[in-house]
């Protein structure tokens, strides 16, 4: 079966930029839901699009900045709310994060809400290099990057992900210092979800073209530059990569 990828939030950490929200996207496979980053409003966007939040199996965070995690407490709260309304068990999907302390704070804060007991047992697991998840539907591999610099304590706190499902490969950059952070990951990727907020989109496309990238490029995590004229950048990037570029919006859907 094919999987469905939905961009819930396509904006970087700018000031509020209607009608976009901060970065978050989901992958649906065999009726199960997997989250990648959890920017503001992600639970509302998913629920209002008919996604069953109680089919959530895991939440993968690239790094702790709030434009990637600001919606996480509310997502956990909404899951508990929906479980209560439907009189079903809260799925308690594990949070995979390079910043355990932040996730623990979020869960602790929820203990002071009406759903404290429903969120207290949320599993929190560290992200390190290599395979971090495999449930038979999807496999997730983590690769550290330099978005937050080289850590003095040796603990990397920013990651990119490769997801494999149904013979397809998806690479999600998270936030990166440059395309070089991804190494050869994009080479055989069917889809590359690449952040545009810290980089020049046409330059990214030229570098990908020069490496022989043959997949679909999906730009997201947009900054003010690309948001000022997305049609212009869609055209410019499309010329470089022969039309294999999509400027993601909130609600963009892809069949994988």
Q: pLDDT per residue over 10-44, tens digit each?
A: 999 999 999 999 999 999 999 999 999 999 999 99
Nearest CA to 17 out of 83, 52, 67, 74 is that of 67
Residue 173 near residue 195, CB atoms below 8 Å: yes
Question: What is the CATH number for 121?
Answer: 3.60.15.10
Total domains, the chain? 1
pLDDT digits (tens, 9 = 90+) for 146-160: 999 999 999 999 999
Could you read off the pLDDT of 161-217 as tens digits, one per residue?
Answer: 999 999 999 999 999 999 999 999 999 999 999 999 999 999 999 999 999 999 999
Residue 101 to residues 84, 97, 106, 163: CA-CA distances in angstroms?
28, 9, 9, 25
Beta bridge partners of 56: 33
Q: Is the pLDDT of residue 1 over 70?
A: no
pTM for the structure as a whole: 0.97
Domain span including residue 129: 4-255
**Paired residues of 31 in beta bridges:** none
pLDDT the model gives residue 116: 87
Quickly state the pLDDT bin for 58 (edges 50, 70, 90).
very high
Asked if the bond preceding 134 is cis, omega within 30° of 0, the reply is no
For 49, which DSSP code? T
First to last CA, the chain: 9
């Amino acid at each position: 079966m094919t999987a469905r990828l939905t961009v819930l939030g396509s904006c970087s950490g700018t000031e509020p930029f209607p009608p976009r929200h901060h970065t978050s996207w989901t992958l649906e496979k065999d009726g199960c839901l997997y989250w990648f980053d959890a920017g503001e409003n992600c639970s509302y966007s998913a629920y209002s699009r008919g996604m069953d939040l109680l089919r959530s199996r895991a939440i993968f965070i690239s790094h702790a900045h709030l434009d990637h995690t600001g919606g996480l407490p509310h997502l956990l709260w909404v899951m508990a709310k929906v479980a209560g309304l439907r009189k079903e068990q809260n799925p308690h999907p594990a949070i995979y994060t390079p910043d355990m302390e932040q996730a623990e704070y979020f869960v602790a804060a929820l203990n002071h809400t009406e759903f404290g007991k429903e969120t207290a047992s949320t599993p929190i697991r560290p992200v390190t290099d290599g395979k971090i998840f495999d449930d038979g539907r999807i496999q997730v591999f983590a690769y550290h990057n330099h978005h937050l610099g080289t850590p003095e304590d040796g603990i990397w706190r920013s990651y990119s992900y490769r997801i494999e499902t149904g013979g397809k490969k998806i690479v999600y950059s998270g936030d990166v210092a440059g395309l070089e952070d991804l190494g050869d990951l994009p080479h055989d990727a069917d889809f590359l979800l690449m952040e545009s907020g810290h980089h020049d989109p046409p330059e990214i496309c030229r570098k990908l073209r020069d490496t022989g990238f043959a997949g679909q490029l999906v730009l997201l995590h947009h900054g003010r530059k690309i948001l000022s004229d997305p049609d212009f950048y869609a055209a410019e990037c499309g010329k470089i990569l022969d039309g294999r570029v999509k400027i993601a919006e909130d609600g963009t859907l892809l069949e994988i």
